[in-house]
Amino acid sequence: MSVFTHLSLSPINIAGVLCSTKAYNTAYAKGEQMINETMYARGAESSIIREIFGYGLERKAQIGAENVFDFSLGNPSVPAPAAVAESIKKALELPSDQLHGYTPAPGLPQCRSAVAESLNRRFGTSYEGKDVFMTVGAAASLTCTLNAITNPGDEVIVIAPYFPEYRVWIEKAGCTCVEALADEDTFQLSVGNVLKAITDKTAAVIIDSPNNPTGAVYTRDTLTCLANVLREVNAKRDPENPIMLISDEPYREIVYGAEVPWVPSIYEHTIVCYSYSKSLSLPGERVGWILVPNTNPQAARLMPAVAGAARTLGFVCAPALFQRVIIDCIDEPSDVEAYARNRTALTDALAEYGYTYVEPDGAFYLWVKALEPDANAFCERAKKYELLAVPSDSFGMPGWFRLGYCVSYETIVNSLPAWKQLADEYRRK
């Protein structure tokens, strides 16, 4: 019996196997890669944030964690609320098929309703569960939204400095990432720069407020001005093709007295993306949502498009256990005081040492001017003092660096002599 008989292949299938094998062997002989080159490049290039974080882990193993001051990663240091553990314990009593089984693709109906009702209580809206699509964290929220509202060849505007993965997700959707520089004094978004960046190909603008990496919170006046400009542009376009505003809000709950306006109440063509990674300190559990507001004129078509994008990308059924946690913990407050304490300790000291920074109104990042024009060189020099910061180039702006102060208070305090020594070194140059 031949191998082909054993495999029950017809003559046509045999020919196909032989042709495929021949094609593979020919490609192999030519040295061609039988993989997606774009994906290879994305995997081979290291995220600077992850690279620094990995270096930090190595240094901690070598000299002790207490001697390394790693400000690279936005990994919340504040523990998840006690209510999270209580919810998990309660869920563990459920039958296995309920606890671990598939949920509907858009999420548990009671979870979607809980999110909608929470938003209604907070913002005076009238959303329903059907307006919410549960996702595998904010990354899935953004990628599903981008693929739902754009077509290959479109352009998507981001506000520089911006979260580096925006560019990756935009380009994977077949679109071009267009940078609009924020105001360089306040790091509020510059409406004028956004207007300059708009073309006939513009499909969407992404904003995140509170902002990563600067901690800026966009004011109501700024957002109102942006909305008015977008409406003026839309008036000259096909009414079925308005510019969408994607409001990425994983840091909404982490603010220091500033108002975070509800963007859909300001601009009607808004979609909101959210995650519980920061608000409930659950970054590894990957749970978030997309809101297609029922006030969005395209809502009837947008939600099916979101569902279709999630299906196509494989982002269906957010973690079932943590959807149940969200139901129970939907209104749990974030522990902002711990981050505020860290912020004060760090900014007071850096100001004393001569560093220039943007006062953060939200999130847990500090955007600091490097002490030389080359931020990469500065961050390399900082490593001599075991200070790990992220240079600004990957955020779309040279000359700055980002510090994630979502670390222990002890790490902040213990790092201060090193920050002073580093500043002193530059003063001596």
The Cα–Cα gap between 389 and 391 comes to 6
| Burial of 58 (C-beta count, 10 Å sphere; 0-12/13-18/19+) | exposed
The Cα–Cα gap between 178 and 174 comes to 13
Where residue 12 falls among pLDDT bands split at 50, 70, 90?
Answer: very low
Residue type, 314: G
pLDDT tens column, 287-300: 999 999 999 999 99
What is the residue whose two structure tokens read 């007071």?
Answer: 348
- The answer to whether domain 42-80+335-428 and domain 82-329 are alike in fold is no
Residue type, 405: Y
Pick from 108, 133, 107, 129: nearest CA to 118: 129
Q: Which CATH number fits domain 82-329: 1.10.10.10, 3.40.640.10, 2.40.50.140, 3.40.47.10?
A: 3.40.640.10
What is the residue whose two structure tokens read 């980002």?
Answer: 402
> What is the distance between the terminal CA atoms of the chain, rounded to a whole angstrom?
81
Q: Which of 42-46, 251-255, 285-289, 290-294 has the weakest average pLDDT?
A: 42-46
pLDDT of residue 339 exceeding 80? yes
Residue 114: partners with Cβ closer than 8 Å, 6 or more residues away: 326, 327, 330
pLDDT of residue 48 exceeding 90? no
Pick from 44, 16, 69, 59: nearest CA to 405: 69
The Cα–Cα gap between 264 and 296 comes to 8
Q: Does domain 42-80+335-428 have CATH number 3.90.1150.10?
A: yes
pLDDT tens column, 55-102: 888 999 999 999 999 999 888 888 999 999 999 999 999 999 889 999
Distances in Å between the Cα of 151 and the Cα atoms of 20, 164, 283, 296 are: 32, 21, 30, 19
**Which pTM does this prediction carry?**
0.89
Q: What is the percentage of the chain residues whose pLDDT exceeds 90?
A: 80
pLDDT tens column, 134-150: 999 999 999 999 999 99
Do residues 346 and 387 touch, judged by C-beta distance below 8 A?
A: no
The Cα–Cα gap between 46 and 308 comes to 30
| Burial of 325 (C-beta count, 10 Å sphere; 0-12/13-18/19+) | buried
Q: Count Cα neighbours of 225 within 13 Å in the Cβ-side half-sphere.
A: 13
Do residues 394 and 164 touch, judged by C-beta distance below 8 A?
A: yes
Q: List the chain domain ranges.
A: 42-80+335-428, 82-329
Do residues 59 and 68 touch, judged by C-beta distance below 8 A?
A: yes
Q: How does 10-25 read in b/e, with b if 16+ C-beta sit within 10 Å?
A: eeeeeeeeeeeeeeee
Do residues 334 and 280 touch, judged by C-beta distance below 8 A?
A: yes
Do residues 72 and 383 touch, judged by C-beta distance below 8 A?
A: no
pLDDT tens column, 94-136: 999 889 999 999 999 999 999 999 999 999 999 999 999 999 9
